[in-house]
């Protein structure tokens, strides 16, 4: 059973405005747990290079960044591969097709060849085309810059319309370390974590969880109740900030 919060006031103090927490009596994660996880993953992996520019821009307002659409495609290409491979795939994509219109019009096999070094070429090529087709049909242009001025909740809603863009990795890891109830869905997990995680740690934790999910054998497992020998290297398994009661709950509980 999840622990009851020691203080409602503390929970409310760290919860941003917006949708209600679907699990108000579930008191994980605490701000200290969030900070400990962030620092442990930073120590283990360093900050992911693919997100470093976006992090720098967040701390230095006014800096120019690559377009939102570029960032979205880079993120899609980074799934199930290394940062260097995904970046190379993006560079080859832009070299072969200088404009997004050319990407949309390209033959699927040609597009797949351009991004093959990033893995899962057929799947990723299809999703890139789907994103571009949706933008052209709904917005009339290949541009997502309008997202910069919107709230996090609205941005999440806008991006969720694109196939292949979602919180799967973060969802699996946070369920495994007991930050959300075992019965949580992706949607309720997002609402709960959005309330519990301090705003200044959300970006770092999301990026680090994505990277950790790619590299850690224990956290990649669908069922985190089975921990193999690689768990000795995982700070999320061997730590005081994991809610162990939740981590080992059976499906029937």
Catalytic site residues? 168
Q: Would you state the structure tokens that stand for residue 186, as one six-digit string?
A: 């992706």
Helix residue spans in the chain (DSSP H) = 8-14, 31-45, 49-59, 68-77, 83-96, 100-105, 108-115, 121-139, 152-159, 168-176, 186-196, 199-215, 217-220, 244-247
List all residues 6 or more positions away from 54 whose beta carbon is below 8 Å from its beta carbon.
65, 71, 203
Contact 102, 123 (CB under 8 A): no
Contact 115, 121 (CB under 8 A): yes
Picking from 169, 189, 187, the residue whose alpha carbon sits closest to that of residue 179 is: 189
Residue 138: count of CB within 10 angstroms of its CB: 9
Tracing tokens 């991004």 back to the chain, one arrives at 115
List all residues 6 or more positions away from 238 whose beta carbon is below 8 Å from its beta carbon.
231, 232
Query: How far is it, in rounded angstroms, from Cα 68 to Cα 147?
Result: 8
The b-or-e profile of 56-88 (16+ CB within 10 A means b, else e) is eeeeeeeeeeeebbebbbbbbbbbebbbebbbb
Q: N- to C-terminal Cα distance for the chain?
A: 9
């Amino acid at each position: 059973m999840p622990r009851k919060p020691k203080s409602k006031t503390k929970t409310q103090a760290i919860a941003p405005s917006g949708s209600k927490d679907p699990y108000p009596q579930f008191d994980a994660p605490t701000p200290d747990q969030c900070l400990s996880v962030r620092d442990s993953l930073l120590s283990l992996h360093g900050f992911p290079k693919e997100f470093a520019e976006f992090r720098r821009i967040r701390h230095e307002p006014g800096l120019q960044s690559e377009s939102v659409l570029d960032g979205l495609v880079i993120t899609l290409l980074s799934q199930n591969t290394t940062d260097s491979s995904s970046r190379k795939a993006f560079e080859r994509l832009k070299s072969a097709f200088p404009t997004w219109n050319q990407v949309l019009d390209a033959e699927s096999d040609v597009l797949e060849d351009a991004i093959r070094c990033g893995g899962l070429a057929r799947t990723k090529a299809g999703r890139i085309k789907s994103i571009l087709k949706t933008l052209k049909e709904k917005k009339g242009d290949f541009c997502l810059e309008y997202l910069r001025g919107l709230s996090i909740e609205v941005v999440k809603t806008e991006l969720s319309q694109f196939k292949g863009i979602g919180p799967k990795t973060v969802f699996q890891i946070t369920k495994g370390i007991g930050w959300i109830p075992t019965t949580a869905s992706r949607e309720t997990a997002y609402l709960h974590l959005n309330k519990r995680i301090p705003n200044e740690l959300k970006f770092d934790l999301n990026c680090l969880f994505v990277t950790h999910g790619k590299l850690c054998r224990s956290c990649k497992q669908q069922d985190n109740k089975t921990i193999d020998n690689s768990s000795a290297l995982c700070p999320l398994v061997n730590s005081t900030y994991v809610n162990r009661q939740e981590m080992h709950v059976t499906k029937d509980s």
